[in-house]
């Protein structure tokens, strides 16, 4: 059940309608049933994974809180970590391990038949980290153990953010799930606007960019120099629009029920460096990685070179988290190297002057570097990414288009993207002006109507699933 399908919105409308007339003491149960139905509708066979992760971490959290024995506390923490990582490794990485062993031992795949064609459980990379993060927080004393199994199960499976985040901390999400919310039209309206913006990004911008992306990142090489160059320059923007559209719909859906999820993006294309970019991108994941992986390892040594190695290792792990393929690992490694090089330049005081012109050049440099990585990220293999790069640097200057049916969708995507960018600037400007027209309800509703018209008339007929659903 994808966020841009009719089934999801029927479920959202139905559950929200019942939610506000349901007695407070039963609301958690309603949301839990809806959440499990949401997951089971897509992959009923793997719903047991949610149950295992929930019961193990609930039990480990309680056990950690009940004992003062450091050894026992550490044992329960290890059980939680091993269980979640084992689930993740088995279902997500066994084919990569098999492929690697086959390559090293010069043998064919060890897996055959149905085992070689297994389906990746949706959301597994997200709910395992969220559930495991809770246990670590309890162990560190940052969170009291949750004694209500129902609320904890809802925390792990909360449907707006179950499939692709944001990865929420228990300290933030659990108290909101326990709070009583009245029907508040202003809150619901703001949630619906977020959903509308998310649909606009996904159906109009991403949908109309997809033909170009599919042409270049498909398994063939029947694309021109112009198409390869344009695709490389738009790759990170494409991923951003796709992922942020999901996040907008997730945050909007949760807001209807009164829950505020983490804003996963903070204008990443305003970043002045690759490091700055990743502090603004997929914020819930980067904070999770920093708090639970990078920071504990960094505390092992004050040596600056250890920190450099650790940065590369951390980003390589982030790449591996995204997917069980060598292109994701290389993508993470490359971004880690970019950040280390930036740190080395900064350490040697080899930095650009600070003014508006040079800041814009920094933004352009960062945009180009992250797009280099995005080509690797979106390619089906490392070899395919190499083919795209070779096509670009060949400078054949072939400005033809292999399929002119892409021209109109690209024009629509360009107009929609420009409209989105302009609207962001308007919103920023109106915050400083009390009499700005956007504060007028008539003007606002006119803007909403324009977005709806765009969605109704210019949505791409064939919509791909959200990119991050595969992770």
Q: Indicate which residues carry an active-site annotation.
A: 322
Q: What's the DSSP call for residue 292?
A: I
d(CA 255, CA 420): 22
3-state secondary structure the chain: CCCCCHHHHHHHHHHHHHHCCCCHHHHHHHHHHHHHHHHHHHHHHHHHHHHHHHHHHHHHHHHHHHCCCHHHHHHHHHHHHHHHHHHHHHHHHHHHHHHHHHHHHCCCCCCCHHHHHCCCCCCHHHHHHHHHHHHHHHHHCCCCCCCCHHHHHHHHHCHHHCCCCCCCCHHHHHHHHHCCCCCCHHHHHHHHHHHHHHHHHHHHHHHHHHHHHHHHHCCCCCCCHHHHHHHHHHHHHHHHHHHHHHHHHHHHHHHHCCCCCCCCCCCHHHCCCHHHHHHHCCHHHHHHHHHHHHHHHHCCCCCHHHHHHHHHHHHHHHHHHHCCCHHHHHHHHHHHHHHHHHHHHHHCCCCCCCCHHHHHHHHHHHHHHHHHHHHHHHCCCHHHHHHHHHHHHCCCCCCCCCCHHHHHHHHHHHHHHHHHHHHHHHHHHHCCCCCCHHHCHHHHHHHHHHHHHHHHHHCCCCCCCCHHHHC
């Amino acid at each position: 059940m994808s966020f841009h399908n009719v089934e999801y919105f029927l479920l959202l409308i139905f559950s929200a309608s019942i939610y506000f007339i349901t007695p407070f003491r039963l609301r958690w149960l309603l949301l839990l049933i809806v959440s499990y139905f949401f997951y089971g509708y897509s992959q009923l066979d793997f719903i047991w994974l949610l149950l295992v992760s929930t019961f193990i971490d609930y039990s480990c959290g309680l056990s950690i809180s009940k004992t003062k024995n450091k050894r026992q506390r550490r044992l329960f923490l290890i059980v939680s970590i091993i269980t979640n990582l084992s689930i993740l490794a088995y279902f997500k990485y066994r084919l990569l391990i098999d492929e690697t062993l086959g390559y090293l031992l010069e043998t064919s795949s060890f897996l055959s038949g149905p085992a070689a064609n297994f389906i990746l459980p949706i959301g597994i990379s997200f709910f395992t980290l969220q559930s495991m993060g809770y246990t670590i927080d309890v162990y560190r004393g940052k969170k009291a153990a949750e004694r209500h199994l129902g609320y904890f199960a809802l925390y792990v499976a909360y449907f707006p953010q179950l499939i692709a985040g944001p990865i929420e901390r228990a300290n933030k999400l659990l108290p909101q799930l326990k709070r009583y919310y009245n029907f508040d039209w202003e809150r619901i309206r703001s949630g619906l606007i977020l959903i509308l913006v998310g649909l606009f990004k996904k159906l109009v911008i991403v949908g109309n960019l997809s033909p170009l992306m599919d042409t270049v990142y498909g398994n063939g090489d029947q694309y021109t120099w112009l198409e390869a160059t344009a695709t490389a320059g738009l790759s990170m923007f494409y991923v951003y629009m796709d992922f942020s559209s999901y996040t907008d719909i997730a945050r909007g859906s949760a807001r209807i029920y009164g829950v505020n999820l983490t804003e996963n993006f903070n204008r990443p294309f305003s970043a002045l460096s690759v490091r700055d970019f990743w502090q603004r991108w997929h914020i819930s994941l980067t904070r999770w990685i920093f708090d639970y992986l990078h920071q504990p390892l960094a505390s092992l040594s004050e040596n600056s070179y250890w920190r450099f190695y650790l940065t590369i290792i951390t980003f390589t792990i982030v790449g591996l988290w995204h997917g069980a393929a060598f292109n994701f690992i290389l993508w993470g490694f490359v971004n880690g190297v970019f950040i280390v090089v930036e740190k080395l330049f900064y350490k040697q005081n080899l930095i650009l002057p600070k003014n508006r012109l040079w800041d814009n050049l920094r933004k352009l440099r960062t945009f180009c570097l992250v797009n280099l990585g995005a080509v690797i990220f979106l390619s089906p293999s490392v070899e395919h990414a190499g083919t795209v790069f070779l096509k670009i640097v060949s400078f054949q200057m072939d400005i033809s288009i292999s399929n002119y049916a892409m021209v109109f969708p690209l024009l629509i995507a360009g107009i929609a993207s420009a409209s989105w960018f302009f609207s962001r600037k308007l919103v920023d400007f109106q915050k400083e002006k009390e009499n700005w027209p956007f504060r007028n309800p008539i003007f606002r509703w006119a803007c909403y109507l324009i977005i709806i018209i765009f969605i109704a008339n210019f949505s791409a007929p064939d919509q791909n699933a959200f990119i991050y659903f595969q992770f």
